[in-house]
Amino acid sequence: MFSITVRDHVMVAHSFRGEVFGPAQRLHGATFVVDARFKRTDLDADNIVVDIGLATSELGTVLAALNYRNLDEVPEFEGVNTSTEFLAKHIADRLAERVHAGALGEGAKGLSAIEVTLHESHVAWASYERAL
Amino acid sequence: MFSITVRDHVMVAHSFRGEVFGPAQRLHGATFVVDARFKRTDLDADNIVVDIGLATSELGTVLAALNYRNLDEVPEFEGVNTSTEFLAKHIADRLAERVHAGALGEGAKGLSAIEVTLHESHVAWASYERAL
Amino acid sequence: MFSITVRDHVMVAHSFRGEVFGPAQRLHGATFVVDARFKRTDLDADNIVVDIGLATSELGTVLAALNYRNLDEVPEFEGVNTSTEFLAKHIADRLAERVHAGALGEGAKGLSAIEVTLHESHVAWASYERAL
Amino acid sequence: MFSITVRDHVMVAHSFRGEVFGPAQRLHGATFVVDARFKRTDLDADNIVVDIGLATSELGTVLAALNYRNLDEVPEFEGVNTSTEFLAKHIADRLAERVHAGALGEGAKGLSAIEVTLHESHVAWASYERAL
Amino acid sequence: MFSITVRDHVMVAHSFRGEVFGPAQRLHGATFVVDARFKRTDLDADNIVVDIGLATSELGTVLAALNYRNLDEVPEFEGVNTSTEFLAKHIADRLAERVHAGALGEGAKGLSAIEVTLHESHVAWASYERAL
Amino acid sequence: MFSITVRDHVMVAHSFRGEVFGPAQRLHGATFVVDARFKRTDLDADNIVVDIGLATSELGTVLAALNYRNLDEVPEFEGVNTSTEFLAKHIADRLAERVHAGALGEGAKGLSAIEVTLHESHVAWASYERAL
């Protein structure tokens, strides 16, 4: 199994609902350093997993929709706890849509899975992996 | 599949028995930077994998039993090579017990696996993963 | 010249005023991984720069006053752009006050300078250094 | 499942053929920070995954055959795009041969898989995993 | 003293002349992860050291002139050992020219120094610092 | 001002004397990831700060005298708290002796300073800088 991973980041504000979140129920924020990992069984005709330039720019596009925002005010997330693990899935799902739409190139149709990891600090991170 | 990971560290002395260990047969020590990763298929009702505060404090409790100790003198490890990979399993097993005892909250009962990674330097680390 | 550095982190929301900040004029957030470096010419009687336990707990206390907050609503920061570099100075100044108040121990009176670095992502950080 | 990972690096020149590579079609170079991960179900009689000293020296031997070279001039790679993901497989395959030849010790015959990760920068890396 | 640092990277091929370089006399390559640090005594009217967006884009422009190139064939470097430390100075000097030309904004005229660090692997890096 | 830095590591056991050290008064251990930074005003005739191969091997030699040892039993350290900051000075002083003895080459006589940093965990490190 092969994979390539590209890294970018996003800076957001949000708050959580639920006693389990303690002081994080207050409006606060986070930098998420985001790793998007693309997996496949065999390399394509160019000997690569996916065009790393497109992978990077598509990750950037997905993150731009979140960047410098207060997630509490994004209609799509109304009533949702935008936890690190939830956001990992959100980003992976958006990337999967881009793959299926052909935005990562024809070769990307051979991808088998995407794993997205969000680092919220030097001591905590969350991941979500899904099939394509 | 979702996961969250929390990081802490522990500083111990120990020695190894066996020619394979070379100079590490002498009493020496290590800082282990410890990553505990908790996995599950679906998020809980709060949209999280596990309460990250409890995960962090339980990892701290497990490490406190080892921290600033000479492992050669810990009765539980008598006659055992406390290798990095062995300690990864030891810590994962203690965390699994805490999960089963309810110390990570009711939601943690939905966890499917734990992976523990111990970084012994910038050029070497070891992991152990087990089901819950 | 000797130094020791301890690391912690803080998660805040804030917004900026001024065209130079572009989309960061919107309410957003950041995780700041914070390094506090304490400098002195000679070691103290215990052969250390400062009690690392106290340095860590005092840094934690200073950060707790900011953690999980919207800095736009903190009276002390009214009308202020809470940039990464400004916050580095804010934290260094609070630590300096703690040193002068004796909170880092008697030995800490031999400290000559503090440098605080805030990492806002994997590609950007800011520092402020001041004498004691 | 247990694993240990050792890290080394290699510095090479190369060029790519294919429009997808853009400016990387020109002769350029890369430092690859290389992580070799060895996996097995149970520990050996010494309580380890594999002799970490041998793992490190064998990784060094495999990398030495590539280090400080222009891969475009290595006969083995003639007509091949030596992409990061391709090189991850190349290194994993060479390590697998060394395991099968007994170079990592008798205990290494219990290894079940090797995963090799090549970091080409702080924002991109590639992996290949294979059974043993 | 305040500073901000931004990070980018560049991938080049080159060779060295001189016995001291050993196998690095052969054509090989490197990824340099590049940190550009801008220093000044006081913050500007926006409470910042320099516009981080401009700092990042100017660093990118300076690196683009080197990226994906064989430095042995760049006329400017003819007969020069393009060592990591030399390249750190080259990049710092180009950034200083950009500051003086006003490319980092009017506020950047208050900068007092630039330090450029090039990481050539996980175990080696070089820096150059100059006044502005 | 130019500098180059090389990284290695050392694993030791030791204990501390003094109430300030709390549980670290017990025999424990540490991995120190060690950065040795060499500074000079101008590059030498080869366009470098110092031969990086010699810098790396001399750092290795200095660390080998400590590696896999219980520092409490090293005669040179009898009655001494081998704190991280003390060890940074010890290593810097040994490297300075090697420079003066010519072990880093003739060119190294142009070096002006050495800074040694010891990382004891992901959240704490200490440095010592001295002139040459």
Q: What is the mean pLDDT of residues D18-28?
A: 96
Q: Which of residues 41-70 of F touch C (CB under 8 A)?
A: none
Put simply, the answer to whether F20 touches C47 (Cβ < 8 Å) is no
**Residues in chain A within 8 Å Cβ distance of C74:** none
Give the chains touching C; criterion: ≥3 Cβ pairs < 8 Å: A, D, E, F
Centroid of chain to Cα C57: 13
User: Which chains, if any, share at least 3 CB pairs under 8 A with chain F?
Assistant: A, B, C, E
Is residue B103 within 8 Å of residue B57, measured between CB atoms? no
Chains that touch D (3 or more CB pairs under 8 A): A, B, C, E
E43-53 burial code (b ≥16 CB/10 A, e <16): bbebbbbbbbb
Give the span between the Cα atoms of C70 and A28, in whole angstroms.
5
How do residues D52-104 score in pLDDT, each as one tens digit? 999 999 999 999 999 999 999 999 999 999 999 999 999 999 999 999 999 99
- Cβ–Cβ contact F3 with E under 8 A: yes
Confirm if B118 and B83 have CB atoms less than 8 A apart.
no
Q: Write the residue in C6, C43, C51 that is nearest to F124 by C-beta.
A: C6
**Do residues B70 and F27 touch, judged by C-beta distance below 8 A?**
yes
Q: Is any Cβ of chain B less than 8 angstroms from the Cβ of F29?
A: yes
What value does the mean pLDDT of chain E take? 97
Mean pLDDT of chain F, nearest integer: 97
From E19's Cα to the closest Cα of chain C, the distance in A is: 35
Which of B36, B38, B81, B40 is CA-nearest to residue B62?
B36
Q: How far is A80 from chain B (nearest CA, A)?
A: 8
Calpha distance E109→E49 (Å, rounded): 10
Chain B touching partners, 3 or more CB pairs below 8 A: A, D, E, F
For residues D55-78, one letter each, b for 16 or more C-beta atoms within 10 angstroms of the residue's C-beta and e for the rest, the string is bbbbbeebbeebbbbbbbeeeebe
Alpha-carbon span D27 to E71, nearest angstrom: 10
Instruction: Count CA atoms closer than 13 A to F54's CA, side-chain side.
Output: 19
CA distance C75 to chain F (A): 31
Give me the residue from A4, A53, A105 closest to D126, CB to CB.
A4
When pLDDT is averaged across residues A4-27 and rounded to a whole number, the result is 97
Q: Does B26 touch chain E (CB under 8 A)?
A: no
Name A81's Cβ contacts closer than 8 Å, sequence gap at least 6: A16, A17, A18, A21, B46, B47, B48
Q: Which of the residues D27, D59, D71, D117 would you substitute to probe the E interface, choosing the one with the greatest number of E C-beta atoms within 10 Å?
A: D27
Q: How big is chain B, counted in residues?
A: 132
Q: Which residues of E touch C122 (CB under 8 A)?
A: 7
The whole-chain average pLDDT of chain A stands at: 97
Do B108 and B99 form a contact (C-beta atoms < 8 A)? yes
Which pLDDT belongs to residue A93?
98
Residue of F97, A28, E56 whose CA lies nearest to C31: A28
User: Can you tell me the distance from the alpha carbon of F98 to that of E117, in angstroms, rounded to the nearest whole number?
Assistant: 25
pLDDT at position E85: 98
Q: Do D9 and E33 touch (CB under 8 A)?
A: no
Q: Do chains E and A touch (3 or more CB pairs under 8 A)?
A: no
Task: Please give, one letter per residue, the 3-state secondary structure of E76-123.
Answer: HHCCCCCCHHHHHHHHHHHHHHHHHCCCCCHHHHHCCEEEEEEEEECC
Set of chain B residues whose Cβ sits within 8 Å of the Cβ of F123: 9
Share above pLDDT 90 across residues of chain B, in percent, rounded to a whole number: 98
User: Nearest-CA distance from E59 to chain C in Å?
Assistant: 12
| Residue D108 forms contact with A (CB below 8 Å) | no
By DSSP bridging, strand B113-121 and strand B124-131 are antiparallel
Which residues touch E22 (CB under 8 Å, ≥6 apart)? F53
Q: What is the CA radius of gyration of chain A?
A: 16
Extract the tokens encoding F25.
């008064």
Instruction: Say if the Cβ atoms of C127 and E2 lie within 8 Å.
Output: yes
Amino acid at E128: Y
Q: Is the dihedral of CA C108, C112, C115, C116 positive or negative?
A: positive
Question: Under an 8 A CB cutoff, do E124 and F48 touch?
Answer: no
Rg (CA), chain D: 16
Q: Which of E68, E71, E74, E120 should we substitute to test contact with D (largest number of D Cβ atoms within 10 Å)?
A: E68
Separation CA B76–CA B69 (nearest Å) = 13
Evaluate if residue A97 carries a pLDDT over 90. yes
Q: How far apart are CA F114 and CA E75, in angstroms?
A: 35
User: Chain C residues with CB inside 8 Å of A29's CB?
Assistant: 11-14, 28-31
Pairing outcome for strands F69-70 and F2-14: parallel
What pLDDT is recorded for position C58? 98
Farthest-apart Cα atoms in chain A, separation: 52
The pTM assigned to this predicted structure is 0.98
- Sign of dihedral through CA atoms B56, B59, B61, B66? negative
Residue D107 has pLDDT above 90, yes or no: no
Tell me if E51 sits within 8 A of E4, measured CB to CB.
no
Closest Cα to residue D33, out of D131, D129, D124?
D124
> Helix or strand or coil: residue B106?
helix
What pLDDT, on a 0 to 100 scale, did the predictor assign at position A107? 84
**In the prediction, which pLDDT does E34 show?**
98
Measured between CB atoms, does A122 come within 8 Å of chain F?
yes
Closest-CA residue of D relative to C122 is D122
All residues of chain A having their beta carbon less than 8 Å from the beta carbon of residue C68 are: 23-24, 26, 28
Query: Span F98-116, mean pLDDT?
Result: 95
Distance CA F6, CA D8 (A): 14
Of C18, C125, C129, the CB nearest to E1: C129
Mean pLDDT of B43-72: 97
Q: Determine contact: E72 vs chain F, CB below 8 A.
A: no
Number of H helices, E strands in chain F: 2, 5
- What does the pLDDT read at residue D5? 98
Residues of C in contact with F77 (CB under 8 A): none
* Inter-residue contact C127 to C117 (CB < 8 Å): yes
In the predicted structure, residue E107 carries a pLDDT above the cut 90: no
The pLDDT of C11-39, averaged and rounded, is: 97
In a mutational test of the A interface, the residue from D14, D83, D120 whose CB has the highest number of chain A CBs within 10 Å is: D83
Which of B18, B86, B129 lies nearest to residue D43, judging by beta carbons? B86
A62-95 pLDDT, tens digit each: 999 999 999 999 999 999 999 999 999 999 999 9
Give the nearest partner residue to C18 out of E4, E8, E46, using CB atoms: E46
Nearest CA-CA distance, residue D124 and chain E, Å: 11
Answer yes or no: are the C-beta atoms of E70 and E13 closer than 8 Å.
yes
A93 touches chain C (CB under 8 A): no
Q: How far apart are alpha carbons C32 and C21 in whole angstroms?
A: 18
Q: Which of F9, F29, F122 sits opposite B13 (nearest CB)?
A: F29
Does residue C78 carry a pLDDT above 90?
yes
Structure tokens that stand for E1 in this block: 């003293």
Q: Which residue of C has its CA nearest to A21?
A: C68
Contact between chains at B46 and A81 (C-beta distance less than 8 A): yes
Residues of F in contact with A122 (CB under 8 A): 122-123
Between chain D and chain F, are at least 3 CB pairs below 8 A?
no
Indicate if the pLDDT at residue F107 is higher than 90.
no
- Band (pLDDT 50/70/90 cuts) for residue D16 is very high
Tens digit of each residue's pLDDT (9 = 90 or more) over A30-68: 999 999 999 999 999 999 999 999 999 999 999 999 999
Q: What is the SS3 string spanning A74-130?
A: CHHHCCCCCCHHHHHHHHHHHHHHHHHCCCCCHHHHHCCEEEEEEEEECCEEEEEEE
D6-34: burial string, b at 16+ Cβ within 10 Å, e else: bbbbbbbbbbbeeebbeebeebbbbbbbb
